[in-house]
Amino acid sequence: MGNVLAVCMCKNHQLSKKIVDFIFLVKGEGVEDDIHRGITVQHQLGVKEDPTQPNLRQVHLIQYELIQELQNKGFDVKSGTLGENITTAGIELLSLPTGTIAHIGKEAKIEITGLRFPCVQINQYQKGLAAAVVERNENGKIVSKIGVMGVILKGGKVEAGDKIEVFLPPQPHKPLERV
């Protein structure tokens, strides 16, 4: 079991999101008052490719352990800097399979849909940051460390201090892919 360290949102297309007291997750849409809320894709690149595709990026979660790692490397980052809606602690988000269900707080449920990959805005925020959030696995494949994306299965209020419990999907597990 993990917990929520911070919640963030932003009404504009920009990298960083503002830390707020709470966010409200809306079933099938995303974070209330956040620019990425919608039934269809809201990410600028996704809209250019096909604006009718489903929004598999309704909510973005990053593990605080990544933020600490980046701070230790000299980057000026904190919760919200990298565009996440929920900063988590105590859960290895990147090791979860696709389809994992995260129960957050008293009522919210998120289904993990895949990995977030860094966009060009990250290097515009701080030079070298994009390279610091990716690595190559043993097969040489690029792996993103910049969090996971999900869809809202059940809405509800989420705030710092909320507990997170994860439930893995049935076997065989499908590894996270870029969404």
pLDDT at res. 143: 84
Given a cut of 80, whether residue 119 has pLDDT beyond it is: no
Q: How far is CA 178 from CA 77, 107, 118, in A?
A: 23, 27, 10
Q: What is the pLDDT of residues 136-158, one digit of tens each?
A: 888 888 889 999 999 999 999 99
pLDDT at site 53 = 92
Residue 57: closest CA among 133, 113, 134, 118: 113
Domains, the chain, ordered by start = 2-167 (2.40.33.20)
Closest CA to 88 of 107, 112, 123, 72: 112
CA gap 39, 55 in Å, rounded: 6
Segment 91-119 shows an average pLDDT of 95
Q: What is the largest CA-CA distance in the chain?
A: 42
User: Could you give the CA distance from residue 107 to residue 12 in angstroms, rounded to a whole number?
Assistant: 27
CB count within 10 Å of CB 54 equals 14
Cα angle: 139, vertex 175, 85; to 5 degrees? 115
Q: Which pLDDT belongs to residue 122?
A: 87
Give the model confidence (pLDDT) of 10-68 as tens digits: 999 888 999 999 999 999 999 999 999 999 998 877 778 888 999 999 999 999 999 99
Distance CA 118, CA 40 (A): 20
Q: Average pLDDT of the chain?
A: 94
132, 138, 94, 108: which is closest to 27 by C-alpha?
A: 108
